[in-house]
Structure 1
């Protein structure tokens, strides 16, 4: 019965999105120095007093473009997905997939251009960095030659530096197994093996059930918490503003409701209905109209406060009702093909 329940939940997840894994890899331009690199005897160096650690081979700004692309990539993926089963990937709901892949393609193009520029200027960059290291090493007395040799060996050859850069995105379709197969037991030894496999399969099924439950409920909770935080922030912004509400604040609310709908793969109908009602009743006016109508402004702040309270209350719940409905999606699918 647990296996069927797992299949139902996993089947529903399969139909609602894919797993995405994005990697931004580039040469970090760092070298971890050891006591020997400075001509020091390791036995005479106390880790409590001296920590050499990673040192930059080249200036930070030489790799700033890659650091920016990496941070933008991670932020983009995180804003369009949920962590799946302990972080094996990011679950991207179908409505977010097209926009996400398009924007990742754009970032990949930026990364490629930055890589070409870096590779083209790598040789003079390395030469300039070595000149700075040689000057700095003069203050290390007899250990200068050893340090310079270590630094020189830490720079990749010019012909291989391009291999240190890669921007990769992989999409995976989650698949639900039809059933767990156990080998036919022959003799007592095979019977024992079969029994071990059965116990392992049952344990794996129980853990999968718990993991799927946590993933779905956690995803619902995160959207509810984000709603509560947004409404709290907007109320604080309005309260601190001398001119009432700004149009960008209303646009922010509209954009969030669109985002919520595209991320709401588990169909949290209760909160989505409240958000859509808020959009219909309170986001049809412009900021200027609100500023010129004190009654309408009161309705807006009251609506925001009600939405905030409801979101907080829902976020503090366990979302079991959403989980139960979500599992029925897979049940209906299996029933329709039976």
Structure 2
């Protein structure tokens, strides 16, 4: 599998990530929750059994919260489908040649998310008033947890950070122990890269083989190959070409056979 790493690396020098950049997506929104206390339930602290763990009070309807969660999941799913896991948690590695298209799609999702946030802020007073009318008997326990609208504006955000993937570089004339530490860090990064390549190639092959097996089964059974099946072949071919920076000739061959089927 180290040959794969060198294929992506061109001449085999560097850390192997030269054809990729790292991207981290951050989506946040006001959860609208406050910790539930015994007094909220008309209880004293010592009246709550130790086996119970009190949850949260919801400050606005769940369906609104789900809308923000759905947009966040939609953005992360798109990014995950067009990138690879990176050696750092919550960071993805993406081929440089695909970055512009991925960012364009993220911009669209960002606009949708921020528009939804603006709608929420515009309706914030009405949402709070509706909650007050619905829960008049416990409103005194909810009211203190509603922040001013200006504060809420800072609780909604959708952004990403893109950065080059490079190993640590030691300054000339550094102490031997520092040089050794930097060398270990570079070796660790190279090892992680090779592991990532192995996992990525397996992932790419699995995706292509699933589509190939589906088409093959239909042809073997003499079933009609519908347009949506052919479209899935075209989609996976384009998807593979976008992500295959590792020179996987075996899958390229399989895709050629699919096109001729």
What is the TM-score of this pair, normalised by structure 1? 0.67
Pair 1:180-2:170 in alignment? yes
* DSSP-derived class of the 2:204 partner: helix
Provide closer, same or farther for how the CA distance between residues 167 and 248 of structure 1 changes in structure 2, counting only shifts above 3 A: same
User: Which aligned pairs between 1:53-64 and structure 2 lie closer than 5 A?
Assistant: 53-64=55-66
Tell me if the contact between 1:29 and 1:58 (Cα under 8 Å) persists in the aligned partners. yes
* CA-to-aligned-CA distance 1:121-155 (integer Å, 9 cap, x gap): 000101111222224x3xxxxxxxxxx33421211
Identify the residue that residue 190 of structure 1 maps to in structure 2: none
Provide closer, same or farther for how the CA distance between residues 31 and 168 of structure 1 changes in structure 2, counting only shifts above 3 A: same
Identify the residue that residue 320 of structure 1 maps to in structure 2: none
Identify the residue that residue 91 of structure 2 maps to in structure 1: 89
Tell me if the contact between 2:82 and 2:243 (Cα under 8 Å) persists in the aligned partners. yes
Larger radius of gyration: 1
Provide closer, same or farther for how the CA distance between residues 218 and 11 of structure 1 changes in structure 2, counting only shifts above 3 A: same
Pair 1:41-2:47 in alignment? no
Identify the residue that residue 3 of structure 2 maps to in structure 1: none
Provide closer, same or farther for how the CA distance between residues 63 and 10 of structure 1 changes in structure 2, counting only shifts above 3 A: farther
Pair 1:168-2:148 in alignment? no
Tell me if the contact between 1:31 and 1:154 (Cα under 8 Å) persists in the aligned partners. yes
* Distance in 2 separating the partners of 1:37 and 1:63: 22
Provide closer, same or farther for how the CA distance between residues 180 and 23 of structure 1 changes in structure 2, counting only shifts above 3 A: same
Pair 1:220-2:201 in alignment? yes
Query: Match for 1:250 among 225, 230, 236?
Result: 230
* Distance in 2 separating the partners of 1:257 and 1:32: 49
Pair 1:205-2:186 in alignment? yes
Identify the residue that residue 146 of structure 2 maps to in structure 1: 155
Provide closer, same or farther for how the CA distance between residues 183 and 217 of structure 1 changes in structure 2, counting only shifts above 3 A: same
Tell me if the contact between 1:23 and 1:168 (Cα under 8 Å) persists in the aligned partners. yes
Provide closer, same or farther for how the CA distance between residues 234 and 23 of structure 1 changes in structure 2, counting only shifts above 3 A: farther
What is the TM-score of this pair, normalised by structure 2? 0.84
Provide closer, same or farther for how the CA distance between residues 162 and 212 of structure 1 changes in structure 2, counting only shifts above 3 A: same
Tell me if the contact between 1:182 and 1:197 (Cα under 8 Å) persists in the aligned partners. no
Tell me if the contact between 1:81 and 1:93 (Cα under 8 Å) persists in the aligned partners. yes
Q: State the 1:117 CA deviation.
A: 1.0
* DSSP-derived class of the 2:144 partner: helix
Provide closer, same or farther for how the CA distance between residues 272 and 182 of structure 1 changes in structure 2, counting only shifts above 3 A: same
User: Which aligned pairs between 1:21-170 and structure 2 lie closer than 5 A?
Assistant: 21-48=24-51, 50-87=52-89, 89-135=91-137, 137=138, 148-170=139-161
User: What is the aligned-residue RMSD (CA, Å)?
Assistant: 2.8
Provide closer, same or farther for how the CA distance between residues 9 and 64 of structure 1 changes in structure 2, counting only shifts above 3 A: farther
Q: State the 1:195 CA deviation.
A: 4.7
Q: State the 1:88 CA deviation.
A: 5.2
Identify the residue that residue 290 of structure 1 maps to in structure 2: none
* Distance in 2 separating the partners of 1:181 and 1:94: 28
Q: State the 1:10 CA deviation.
A: 4.5
Aligned residues: 253
* DSSP-derived class of the 2:253 partner: helix
* CA-to-aligned-CA distance 1:26-75 (integer Å, 9 cap, x gap): 11222221324434333342242x23212322111223332221111011
Q: Structure 2: 5+ residue runs without aligned partners? A: 1-5
Q: State the 1:21 CA deviation.
A: 1.3
Q: Which one has a larger percent helix, Structure 1 or Structure 2?
A: 1
* Distance in 1 separating the partners of 2:105 and 2:83: 14
* Distance in 2 separating the partners of 1:196 and 1:11: 21
Q: Structure 1: 5+ residue runs without aligned partners? A: 138-147, 185-193, 283-338
